[in-house]
């Protein structure tokens, strides 16, 4: 029995841990569990390693990395990551794509990067945002101003509306729950300020500010394009200052076989691609085409648009996002990485829009659609009605507004979660299937007489991606070449060729995206190699060919010669993965 394997609710830390343990017990031949780090509050950061170990050493296979829930309140990403792990484990031997992937590749899945933050937002339901546990609720705001607090004791922190002649808001005539912006020339009416529910600290009776929480943003703590907190909210004390990100980065650096990555977030229902800090002109070679071709599969599976973070998801280009996972994994390492924002409440409510980061006021009819949606999907629990309350400092206020955790930040799980997980899982598997894939073919040993043998093979990349993955990887010197070794008896003498040969990079199908044209060079996807070696005449012998590079995996062939009999066996290496 696998505990908590249901996709109609979200998982606490203890439930997630039990589920992971049960999956490992149920599938010992396919799954291992690693504790890759510890959070601020002492919770283990779990990583699931999934592959068919019978087909070879995991480090001799291309790897695919997935993580989720880097932001505390984005808990639906954990469910999608777990759904993907469960699909890989349960469908091996049944689904042809899953079976191929686990035979040929290895998956590394971190379902919850931020266990402290996720626990806070689930066990303290009035707190819908927090960092990673460095600061606990009520500790994360410093200085005078309005501090978040559950003023009326109902277990929620929502909004307060305060009647004010200088207020920016007015009540909708169509639905008294809805607050609309006051027109620029409006002067004769009842108007309100809207602020978060909270208490005033160090208040002198005048206007007040809301101190920006020092709650941290783990997706600003990566070592590429990092800037200090004074320029980037939540960046941390220094790159990798947060133990959760240090653990993730260490694992990825220690596994140079990773050939693709997927990070799950939950805002707007979009598939994000690089860059975060640069326009598309920053792409090298055919890297933008790479993202377009792979990303189109995601659009087909999820119906999410594929967009650039900088070009389409950053309304104010002066407020770029620094220190992110994508700018590190792709920018520094050249690994094709997508960051999917899983949930779009506006689409669920039937609202059409062409902007993807909604920092604006929608038309009244759209807000009415959102209210009707939550009335039906959540039985009205997504919006708390405005209720009068005597604030100890401000006097009469009304408390109410959106419960953002299960409206804007995460879908109501029973209605939406499993379908969302299935679609995104399928895109992830299709992305993984784009990895470079090496094979050895035409392996042969031909006697030349006098103890001389001609050994030959063709090293071929049958994958979509080249063995270097991207032009960015080459530019950053992270693309290790394909190398070939020939080993045999100690007495073997090389007459032609060398024991260790560097083939450079082998192209993938991506680089042949049009019919042949004399105006374009087609880079090689296969190379033939030959050696002439001298071996003791009349004696049986074995020689072994091994070819590979970290991100394309390692393949090998053994040639056994006994008299006139020559037997060749080839496949993925099962021993030491290092060349």
Compute CA distances 69 → 75, 339, 483, whole Å: 5, 12, 38
Sign of the four-CA dihedral 21, 25, 31, 34:
positive
The confidence score (pLDDT) of residue 124 equals 81
* Best CATH choice for the domain 13-122+216-343+410-432 from the list 1.10.10.10, 3.60.20.10, 3.40.630.10, 2.170.140.10: 3.40.630.10
Please, where in the chain does CATH 2.60.40.10 lie?
438-572
The confidence score (pLDDT) of residue 459 equals 97
Q: Containing H/E element for 73?
A: none
Compute CA distances 402 → 1, 158, 159, 195, whole Å: 38, 6, 8, 12
The confidence score (pLDDT) of residue 575 equals 47
Kindly calculate the radius of gyration of the chain based on its CA atoms and give it in whole angstroms. Answer: 28
Strand partners, 147: 199
The confidence score (pLDDT) of residue 577 equals 46
Cα angle for residues 199, 201, 202 (degrees, 5° grid): 150
Q: Which residues contact 45 (CB under 8 A, 6 or more apart)?
A: 35, 36, 37, 38, 39, 110, 112, 113, 115, 244, 247, 248
Tokens 């506006």 correspond to 346
Output the six-digit token pair for 407. 């409206």
Please, where in the chain does CATH 3.40.630.10 lie?
13-122+216-343+410-432
C-alpha span between 551 and 469 (Å, rounded): 8
Task: Please state which CATH number belongs to domain 438-572.
Answer: 2.60.40.10
C-alpha span between 498 and 515 (Å, rounded): 37
The helix-helix angle for 76-91 and 413-432 (nearest 10°) equals 60
CB 434 within 8 A of CB 552: no
Tokens 């691609």 correspond to 273
CB 113 within 8 A of CB 218: yes
> In this structure, how many other beta carbons lie within 10 angstroms of the beta carbon of residue 511?
19
The confidence score (pLDDT) of residue 574 equals 53
Cα angle for residues 171, 172, 176 (degrees, 5° grid): 75
Instruction: Give 414-483 as a DSSP string.
Output: HHHHHHHHHHHHHHHHHHHTTS--EEEEEEEEEEEETTEEEEEEEEEE-SSS-TT--HHHHHTT--PPEE
The confidence score (pLDDT) of residue 358 equals 64
Tokens 């908590």 correspond to 4
Strand partners, 133: none
**266: nearest Cα among 298, 304, 231, 296:** 304
Tens digit of pLDDT at every position of the chain (579 positions): 899 999 999 999 999 999 999 999 999 999 999 999 999 999 999 999 999 999 999 999 999 999 999 999 999 999 999 999 999 999 999 999 999 999 999 999 999 999 999 999 998 867 777 889 888 888 888 889 999 999 999 989 999 999 999 999 999 999 999 999 999 999 999 999 999 999 999 988 888 888 888 878 999 999 999 999 888 888 999 999 999 999 999 999 999 999 999 999 998 899 999 999 999 999 999 999 999 999 999 999 999 999 999 999 888 888 899 999 999 999 999 999 999 999 999 999 999 888 777 666 789 999 999 999 999 999 999 999 999 999 999 999 999 999 999 899 999 999 999 999 999 999 999 999 999 999 999 999 999 988 899 999 999 999 999 999 999 999 999 999 999 999 999 999 999 999 999 999 999 999 887 777 777 777 899 999 999 999 888 789 999 999 999 999 999 999 999 877 788 887 666 544 444
Strand partners, 459: 440, 527
C-alpha span between 183 and 254 (Å, rounded): 57
Give the alpha-carbon dihedral of 514, 516, 522, 526, to 10 degrees: 100
Cα angle for residues 166, 170, 172 (degrees, 5° grid): 175
The confidence score (pLDDT) of residue 51 equals 98
First to last CA, the chain: 42
C-alpha span between 203 and 201 (Å, rounded): 5
The DSSP code for 211 is P
C-alpha span between 499 and 533 (Å, rounded): 10
**113: nearest Cα among 232, 256, 221, 273:** 221
C-alpha span between 198 and 281 (Å, rounded): 45
The confidence score (pLDDT) of residue 216 equals 84
CB 328 within 8 A of CB 253: no
């Amino acid at each position: 029995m696998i505990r908590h394997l249901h996709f109609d609710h979200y998982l606490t830390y203890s439930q997630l841990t039990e589920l992971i343990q049960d999956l490992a017990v149920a599938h010992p031949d396919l799954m291992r569990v690693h504790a890759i780090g510890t959070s601020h509050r002492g919770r283990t950061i779990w990583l699931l390693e999934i592959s068919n170990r019978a087909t070879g050493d995991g480090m001799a296979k291309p790897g695919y990395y997935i993580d989720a829930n880097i932001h505390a309140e984005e808990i639906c990403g954990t469910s999608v990551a777990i759904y993907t792990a469960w699909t890989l484990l349960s469908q091996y031997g049944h689904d042809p794509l899953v079976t191929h992937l686990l035979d040929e590749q290895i998956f590394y899945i971190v379902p919850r990067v931020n266990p402290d933050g996720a626990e806070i937002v689930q066990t303290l339901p009035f707190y819908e945002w927090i960092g990673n546990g460095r600061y606990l609720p009520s500790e994360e705001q410093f200085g005078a101003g309005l501090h978040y607090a559950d003023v009326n004791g109902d277990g929620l922190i929502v909004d307060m509306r305060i009647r004010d002649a200088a207020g920016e808001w007015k009540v909708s005539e169509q639905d008294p729950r809805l607050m609309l912006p006051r027109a620029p020339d409006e002067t004769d009416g009842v108007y309100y300020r809207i602020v978060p529910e909270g208490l005033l600290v160090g208040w002198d009776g005048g206007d007040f500010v809301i101190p920006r929480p020092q709650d941290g943003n783990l997706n600003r703590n990566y070592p590429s394009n990092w800037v200090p907190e004074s320029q980037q909210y939540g960046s941390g004390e220094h790159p990798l200052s947060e133990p959760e990100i240090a653990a993730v980065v260490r694992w990825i650096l220690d596994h140079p076989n990773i050939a693709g990555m997927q990070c799950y977030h939950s805002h707007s229902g979009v598939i994000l691609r690089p860059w975060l800090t640069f326009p598309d002109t920053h792409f090298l070679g055919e890297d933008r085409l790479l993202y377009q071709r792979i990303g189109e599969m995601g659009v087909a599976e999820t119906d999410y648009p594929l967009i650039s973070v900088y070009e389409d998801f950053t309304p104010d280009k002066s407020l770029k996002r620094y220190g992110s996972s994508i700018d590190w994994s792709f920018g520094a390492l050249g690994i094709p990485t997508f960051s999917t924002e899983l949930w779009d409440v506006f689409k669920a409510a039937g609202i059409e829009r062409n902007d993807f980061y909604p920092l604006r006021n929608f038309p009244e009819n759209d807000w009415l659609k959102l209210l009707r949606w939550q009335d039906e999907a959540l039985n009205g629990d997504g919006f708390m009605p405005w209720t009068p309350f005597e604030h100890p400092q401000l006097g009469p206020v009304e408390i109410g507004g959106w419960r953002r955790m299960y409206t804007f930040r995460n879908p109501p799980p029973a209605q939406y979660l499993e379908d969302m997980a299935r679609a995104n899982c399928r895109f992830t598997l299709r992305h993984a299937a784009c990895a470079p894939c090496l094979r050895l073919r035409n392996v042969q040993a031909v006697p030349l007489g006098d103890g001389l043998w001609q050994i030959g093979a063709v090293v071929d990349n049958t994958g979509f991606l080249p063995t270097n993955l991207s032009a960015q990887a080459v530019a950053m010197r992270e693309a290790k070449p394909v190398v070939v070794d020939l080993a045999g008896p100690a007495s073997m003498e090389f007459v032609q060729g060398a024991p260790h040969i560097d083939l450079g990079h082998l192209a993938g199908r991506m680089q042949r995206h049009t019919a042949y044209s004399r105006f374009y060079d087609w880079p090689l996807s296969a190379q033939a190699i030959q050696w002439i070696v001298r071996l003791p005449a009349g004696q049986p012998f074995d020689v072994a060919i091994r070819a590979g590079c970290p991100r394309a995996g390692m393949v090998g062939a053994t040639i056994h010669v006994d008299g006139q009999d020559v037997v060749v066996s080839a496949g993925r290496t099962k021993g030491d993965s290092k060349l």
